[in-house]
Amino acid sequence: MITAKELFDKMLEENDECTSTEMMVEFAKIHVTEALKQASEKAELETEYENPINPSMGSFDVVDKSSILDAYSLDNVK
């Protein structure tokens, strides 16, 4: 994953009139895209039952929210 400094240097090399706002937006896009990708790959399903006492009455799957929230570490943003 590219660091903020690496992106800053790359963008200035490509366009020396690039603004800090443009760099921040690009950096955010890179990390949000990767975070969404990781969340889609790491999302876990949990089975819940219509009636926990009698599971044969039916069940449904729900997404485990913590599996999504923990999918992309904030330590990746540097």
| pLDDT tens per residue, range 13-43 | 998 898 999 999 999 999 999 999 999 999 9
For residue 7, what pLDDT is reported?
92
- pTM listed for this prediction: 0.70
Which is it for strands 59-63 and 45-49: parallel, antiparallel or unpaired?
antiparallel
Q: Which tens digits make up the pLDDT trace of 39-68?
A: 999 999 999 998 888 888 899 999 999 999
Domain span holding position 44: 4-76
Number of domains in the chain: 1
CA distance linking residue 28 with residue 73, whole number of Å: 14
